[in-house]
Structure 1
Amino acid sequence: MSVAAPQVFADQQVSGDHEQNTANLEEKGIAPSNSDFFPDADDKSPGVLRVEAIAKTFTSWHKVILFFSLFLVAYAYGLDGTLRNTFQVYALAAFGASAQTSTVTVVRSIVAACVQPVYAKVSDYFGRISILVICIFFYSLGIIVQATANNVGAFSGGGLLNQIGYTGVQLLVEVIIADTSSLRNRLFCSYIPAAPFLINAWISGNVANAALTSAVSWQWGIGMWAILFPVITLPLACIFWYAQVRAKRQGNFEGLPELKLASVSLWNDFFWKVDAIGLFFLAATLALILIPFTLAGGTKSLWATAHVITPLVIGVVVALPLFVVWELRFARHPLFPKRLLKERQIFCALAMAALLNTSWYCQGDYLYYTLVIAFNRDIISATRVTMVYSFVSVVIGFTLSIIVRYVRRLKSFIVAGAVLIIVAFGILIRYRGGYSTSDFAGLVAGEVILGIAGGLLPYPTQVLIQAAVKHERTALVTSLFYCAYNVGSALGNTIAGGIWTNTMPGHILNNLNKRGIANATVLAGEAYADPFTFIVSYPPGTAERDALNDSYREVQRYLCITGICIAVLLLAFSLGLKDTRLGDKQSDDNAEEDSIKEEEKN
């Protein structure tokens, strides 16, 4: 394996074929501009060339330190992300906005989807470390805003800033792994940043409980990461800096042309390569169409109001057509390149990434609420159950990665994972509430099977989509994979939020009325707005609590039925994947064969 390293300074140089290109231009009397160093899709970008040059300086010990540093960073953002989900539940409840869980998550998913291609381009042009610097800033700033928020708007705004940083760090880790590993070892290496879940699954509940049951509360539980995360990323930054110093001493950068940040032509070219206008239309389309579905329900239906209908109409009639027309007719470098989408492997993998998260969030978005209320579990138990999927998927994934190193095939495991998702949803439909041990065991069994499927499906699919392209497009397809993943998250949260907000209030009111409880309308509103405070006053066995529990079981059934229907589509796309043999190189020699043949034919 070889190890990648970043470009830190923009005035440092780029290697490879561009040196010859520059010489050819000078022979013709043409002065090369910065745009000459931003090659088309068939050439390697400056950052990629730099990664390959610096990789030559790494010894085995350097690689060990690199992957350990990646593990530390992944441990930090993994634990933070897990705790954040729990703290967000209590923060929104404190603001009286529990039903807006999906809305907040949808907005974050939209931001994550849109910044993925930008980060891929930045890392390809200016180096991997550039992402790290940008992300640490946004990550910490978002945390500070959230921890000091006193309303839903400020909390959501901080979440968006944090998501910009979180997404970039996550992509950076995966791209570095793809840069530094062969296809045969890629799956094993990909699970290194997932390994922290083996620890976090069991300690996250204790950390969350310690924060929420003390005077510290959710504010400090979120805010402490503004200090911890920058410190934990220092080893990764240092090893990149040291790798660059070694490469410079060995003369790997000699004779390379300069990239000047002050150049207008550089940023003009970068603007078109990133497809900034396409990103704007994509974000507008997703936001205008998806968010209203999470807001339209509640204790009072808002479907007929202007602030729900107007964005829906603009999104469907204006934003979506503009995005399609721009990408097909005017974008110089489309977000989803037509050439790559002609590859069956890439198209099926992107569809699976979107469908996987869509189906998962149908059952997972309000799982914590269901555990605390419908199953009467405490904070530690509920948090741990929400982590069962991650824990089991990592265990299965690591085991599979060892097997795949010798089998060198992935498709059969991916198809098996898609089948198991359907089985898991069937179990979750059956076990969706109850105080008995058997009911709780049924839910855990469903989550365990879902976790087994998670170990067989997402990361192996990511490896196959990376195997479908050359090294110079690894960051791009990885970003598109995560973009589709986050679009799936947005869709899943939208579906879950739409079902929840439009059915839960009615179910609570009906179940209270069935039991002849006085003042049912007021109680239904209180239970819907802040269920955690409500269940303190009405413990298990009271008529009010039983009415609320029945409501949660009924709505969770709707969510799981929706999820199993989406999982069937996931299975169909898994059957369309190619069973690529994983070789000992960073990328497959026959990568992009279909699209190349198509271009030659045309």
Structure 2
Amino acid sequence: MPLLDARDGPSYGAIPREENHTSMDFERDQLLQDGYETDDDSSDISTLDEAQEGVRKIEAINMTWTTRSLMIAYVSIFLMAFCTSLEGQTVMSLSAYATSAFSKHSLISTVLVVQNVVNAVIKPPMAKVADVFGRFEAFCLSITIYILGYIQMAASTNVQTYASAQIFYSAGSTGLQILQQVFIADSSDLLNRAFLALLPEFPFLITVWLGPTIAGAVLQSSSWRWGYGMWAIILPAAFLPLALSLLLNQRKAQRLNLIKPTKARRRRSIFSVIRRTWYDLDVGGLTLLSAAVTLLLVPLTLAASSKNGWKTPSIIIMMVVGVLCLIATPLYESSKKLAPKPLLSLHLLKQRTAVAGCALAFWYFMAFYFSVQPYLYSYLQVVQNYDVATAGRVTQTFAFTSTIAAFTVSLLIKYTRRYRIFVTIGCVIYMTGLALMLMCRQEGASHLQVLGTQVLVGCGGGLLNVPVQLGVQASASHQEVAAATAMFLTSMEMGGAVGAAISGAIWTHLIPQKLMQYLPEESKSHAGEIFGKLTTALEYPMGSPTRIAINRAYQETMNRLLTLAIIVTLPLIPLSLLMVDYKLDKMSPGSHDDGAETPLPVEVEPETDDQHHKRT
């Protein structure tokens, strides 16, 4: 059966439909024959107690998809992914020049901390917005926030404005990322999902080579500002087909009376609307989680640049309040009175696969931010003397190879019906690649050594990332697919945030120290400028005493980061073995593995009338 056949329904039920029906009444009758009583509370569409309105909407929309409309939606997903991927590869090469324009090159890590903090805290609320209001509404919100971020970065006149723009930029970017995955989870079964979940990743096969070239052209012909501003025009155009598909199918479902107003919706005052929205979005839990992540991670970079370091009173206060918020978050979320619809599905933390998968994602992405981001690009330009485009392509080799590896493993999962073995293999390859990076990443290393290690690390990352996400999703019901996906991606981003914060602290502490230690006397007065501007470091010719000192400082600091990357990957293999080895094509509603898991029901074939009545 084709991957985008409308008859190949989502994981919570496959509903056969005929694409060429033109009569609305006939379509509705066909749905009723399939067991969907639209005028009765016993409908297969989840009731209000089981699902929030956004989930009810997408379940109804899934009954109206035709093959054509579903293909249009997926094409739009690909177009948006292509735009955001190309944008990401382009601005990644521009960020060093944007921060250098404000004489703050070292603040790349601080910018990434802000990005990752926002990425970590925005995924659960964006998933909740999608569940509460609907997928279409959540997509529109993400696109709008994304555009605001582009505009603010393009117009920024100082590093503070540029850094604050990352809040909008990251919120829109990560919101779009999770909504794409949620939409794919809504409209696919588990066996095909591993492949379809890669659709937003396929553009990396091309954009990793185009992005650095575009960045170089932008810097030569215009400025880094246009490299941000142009995407405010391109991205909305790419979103238009998906917006129309969701909107038209939602209206179609309403005409078929598949989306019914709830009792709460029929009689509600302003107070009840505010109260319902507060609980639906779990504003209290979101506030606590955001405060905890922000107050614990941001001080890591501030302490390194502060005169008194960790003894600074404001930093101590931030850390203490952050710890208190972190402790209060699960207590608040577990309260039925305070959080009747919690932001975090805490009972998923009782399931071995969900916990192990999220922990694995945390450590994996932390290692990524010690090894590939945020300073490998600068290291390649300074120590290896690569130009803008070459350094960008080497840095993005990870994305290219991980995409190919993820595509391969998605096919292997589809035909083997297993996923855990690929997680373990990916962990082994990833750790091996990092070890070889430390051994081979020295000044004067050949292109083959530099590229080879990036290919190996990328292959390991691609092999483990997709099946881990699939395993976490498989341990959730349909109502919790968005929450489970958010929990997985949040864990990954929190690992990235911690990695970026620690790497930034190490870089900010060691580079100035080593520059003062190794620079010749005549250049020591320029140490601050060399540290603050990448362009200043590149002005000194290779082989000169000053450049040798700069390269040595960069090299020794990079070695420290790679050593930490290897250390934090030690838990990966044990965590992969803790995940339940689901046989995906044998999973059924209510089944349990080892008495610990309640996997997501998967229907490989449309159910018969007899099976339907037994289930209801």
The whole-number CA distance in structure 1 between the counterparts of 2:184 and 2:212 is 29
The whole-number CA distance in structure 1 between the counterparts of 2:559 and 2:358 is 28
CA contact (8 A) 1:92 1:98 kept: yes
2:226 to 195, 204, 220: 220
Matched, 1:356 2:364: yes
Matched, 1:528 2:531: yes
2:433 to 424, 431, 434: 424
Using the TM superposition, name which of 483-492 and 300-309 deviates more.
300-309
Deviations 1:410-445 (A, max 9, x none): 111100111111101111111223235x2x321211
Q: Which residue of 1 aligns with 2:237?
A: 231
Q: Which residue of 1 aligns with 2:382?
A: 373
CA contact (8 A) 2:403 2:462 kept: yes
Q: Which residue of 2 aligns with 1:471?
A: 478
Query: Match of 2:352, as an amino acid?
Result: R
The whole-number CA distance in structure 2 between the counterparts of 1:386 and 1:267 is 47
Q: Which residue of 2 aligns with 1:319?
A: 325
Deviations 1:477-522 (A, max 9, x none): 011111111111111101111111111111121121xxxx223432
C-alpha change, 1:588 and 1:66, in structure 2 (3 Å) is farther
C-alpha change, 1:446 and 1:301, in structure 2 (3 Å) is farther
Shift of residue 382, structure 1, vs aligned partner: 0.6
Shift of residue 471, structure 1, vs aligned partner: 1.2
2:492 to 470, 474, 485: 485
Q: Which residue of 2 aligns with 1:31?
A: none
| Sequence identity percentage | 32
Shift of residue 19, structure 1, vs aligned partner: 7.0
1:59-70 maps to which residues of 2 (within 5 A)? 59-70=66-77
Deviations 1:526-580 (A, max 9, x none): 21111222322x1111111111111111011110110111111122211111111
Q: Which residue of 1 aligns with 2:452?
A: 445
Query: Match of 2:118, as an amino acid?
Result: V
Matched, 1:590 2:599: no
CA contact (8 A) 1:99 1:298 kept: no
Q: Which residue of 2 aligns with 1:575?
A: 577
C-alpha change, 1:53 and 1:240, in structure 2 (3 Å) is same
C-alpha change, 1:263 and 1:89, in structure 2 (3 Å) is same
1:339 to 340, 347, 357: 347
Shift of residue 273, structure 1, vs aligned partner: 3.6
Query: Match of 2:452, as an amino acid?
Result: A
1:115-126 maps to which residues of 2 (within 5 A)? 115-126=122-133
CA contact (8 A) 1:349 1:481 kept: yes
The whole-number CA distance in structure 2 between the counterparts of 1:162 and 1:18 is 41
1:166-245 maps to which residues of 2 (within 5 A)? 166-214=173-221, 216-245=222-251
Matched, 1:295 2:302: yes
The whole-number CA distance in structure 2 between the counterparts of 1:593 and 1:235 is 44
The count of aligned residue pairs is 562
Shift of residue 256, structure 1, vs aligned partner: 6.3
The whole-number CA distance in structure 2 between the counterparts of 1:76 and 1:580 is 35
Shift of residue 327, structure 1, vs aligned partner: 3.6
CA contact (8 A) 1:469 1:592 kept: no
Paired residue secondary structure (1:519): helix
Using the TM superposition, name which of 325-334 and 268-277 deviates more.
325-334
The whole-number CA distance in structure 1 between the counterparts of 2:42 and 2:574 is 49
Shift of residue 113, structure 1, vs aligned partner: 1.6
Query: Match of 1:339, as an amino acid?
Result: H
CA contact (8 A) 2:282 2:341 kept: yes
C-alpha change, 1:588 and 1:430, in structure 2 (3 Å) is farther
Using the TM superposition, name which of 481-490 and 263-272 deviates more.
263-272
C-alpha change, 1:596 and 1:559, in structure 2 (3 Å) is closer
Q: Which residue of 2 aligns with 1:546?
A: 548
CA contact (8 A) 2:38 2:258 kept: no
The whole-number CA distance in structure 2 between the counterparts of 1:227 and 1:154 is 21
CA contact (8 A) 1:370 1:433 kept: no
Paired residue secondary structure (2:521): coil
Q: Runs of 5+ in structure 1 lacking a partner?
A: 5-14, 24-35, 598-602
Paired residue secondary structure (1:540): coil
Paired residue secondary structure (2:570): helix
Matched, 1:415 2:418: no
C-alpha change, 1:315 and 1:49, in structure 2 (3 Å) is closer
CA contact (8 A) 1:345 1:464 kept: yes
Deviations 1:186-231 (A, max 9, x none): 11001111000011011111101001122x1110000111111111
Deviations 1:43-99 (A, max 9, x none): 122222222222122222222222111000111111112222222211111111111
CA contact (8 A) 1:356 1:570 kept: yes
The whole-number CA distance in structure 1 between the counterparts of 2:255 and 2:586 is 29
The whole-number CA distance in structure 2 between the counterparts of 1:245 and 1:38 is 20
Query: Match of 1:431, as an amino acid?
Result: C
The whole-number CA distance in structure 1 between the counterparts of 2:566 and 2:55 is 41
Q: Which residue of 2 aligns with 1:29?
A: none
C-alpha change, 1:332 and 1:62, in structure 2 (3 Å) is closer
Query: Match of 1:355, as an amino acid?
Result: W
Query: Match of 2:531, as an amino acid?
Result: Y
C-alpha change, 1:258 and 1:18, in structure 2 (3 Å) is farther
The whole-number CA distance in structure 1 between the counterparts of 2:578 and 2:403 is 25
The whole-number CA distance in structure 2 between the counterparts of 1:113 and 1:348 is 18
Q: Runs of 5+ in structure 2 lacking a partner?
A: 1-7, 12-34, 599-616
CA contact (8 A) 2:132 2:280 kept: no
The whole-number CA distance in structure 2 between the counterparts of 1:195 and 1:71 is 8
Shift of residue 324, structure 1, vs aligned partner: 4.6
CA contact (8 A) 1:299 1:505 kept: no
The whole-number CA distance in structure 2 between the counterparts of 1:156 and 1:256 is 43
Deviations 1:121-178 (A, max 9, x none): 1111221001111112111111111111011110111111111111111111000100
Query: Match of 1:224, as an amino acid?
Result: M
The whole-number CA distance in structure 2 between the counterparts of 1:3 and 1:236 is 18
Shift of residue 335, structure 1, vs aligned partner: 3.5
Deviations 1:8-36 (A, max 9, x none): xxxxxxx989976699xxxxxxxxxxxx9
C-alpha change, 1:559 and 1:17, in structure 2 (3 Å) is farther
C-alpha change, 1:593 and 1:277, in structure 2 (3 Å) is farther
Query: Match of 1:443, as an amino acid?
Result: V
The whole-number CA distance in structure 1 between the counterparts of 2:542 and 2:107 is 26
Shift of residue 281, structure 1, vs aligned partner: 1.7
2:167 to 156, 160, 163: 160
1:105-120 maps to which residues of 2 (within 5 A)? 105-120=112-127
Query: Match of 1:532, as an amino acid?
Result: T
Matched, 1:86 2:93: yes
C-alpha change, 1:22 and 1:583, in structure 2 (3 Å) is closer
